[in-house]
């Protein structure tokens, strides 16, 4: 199965007040995300992290988290990941430094892309956290910010189902 999540910001205490996350500290947040991640992701699943994976890039810290996450991790880099492509690759993460096209019609990018309702494409994105200017989903988009999906990776099948329902409205 293929899953998507963005903006985990493992190791970040500053993201908690910025994104109004319900955690007392980064350790509590990290443990919750790991728990939610592993509750749905199996060892053989693929997980697209759509940017801003870690804020603390201490090698031992990153390895300690990666060792506990199920699945094969594919990172589409975000603004907090800049300059870290080789670091993540050394850790066994598949890294894309630019947006990717997934299954012909889905653009996976950290920051939202401009698409209009006349286009048949869907943008799977993160970056916006709880910003109310952006919808959770529409006919052409699906936001996978951890803040919006209860810190739990969502399946590609779920994304397709929700977007399909939006088309029928």
Averaged over 102-121, what is the pLDDT?
A: 89
Which residues touch 103 (CB under 8 Å, ≥6 apart)?
A: 156
Give the whole-angstrom CA distance, residue 70 versus residue 45.
8
3-class state of residue 143 by DSSP: strand
Residue pLDDT, tens place only, 75-88 = 999 999 999 999 99
Averaged over 118-143, what is the pLDDT?
A: 89
Closest C-alpha to 165, from 134, 133, 144, 136? 136
Distances in Å between the Cα of 133 and the Cα atoms of 117, 143, 163 are 17, 12, 18
Residue pLDDT, tens place only, 1-51 = 999 999 999 999 999 999 999 999 999 999 999 999 999 999 999 999 999
């Amino acid at each position: 199965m293929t899953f998507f999540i963005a903006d985990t910001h493992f190791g970040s205490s500053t993201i908690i007040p910025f994104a109004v996350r319900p955690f007392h500290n980064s350790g509590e947040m990290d443990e919750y995300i790991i728990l939610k991640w592993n509750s749905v992701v199996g060892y053989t699943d693929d997980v697209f992290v759509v940017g801003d994976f870690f804020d603390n890039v201490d090698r031992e810290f990153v390895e300690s988290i990666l060792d506990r996450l199920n699945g094969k991790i594919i990172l589409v880099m975000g603004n907090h990941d800049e300059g870290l492509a080789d670091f993540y690759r050394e850790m066994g993460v598949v890294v894309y430094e630019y947006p990717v096209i997934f299954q012909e019609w889905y653009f996976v990018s950290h920051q939202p892309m401009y698409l209009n309702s006349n286009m048949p494409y869907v943008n799977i994105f993160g970056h916006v956290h709880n910003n109310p200017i952006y919808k959770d989903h529409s006919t052409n988009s699906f936001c996978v910010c951890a803040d919006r999906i209860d810190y739990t990776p969502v399946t590609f099948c779920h994304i397709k189902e929700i977007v399909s329902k939006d088309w029928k409205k």
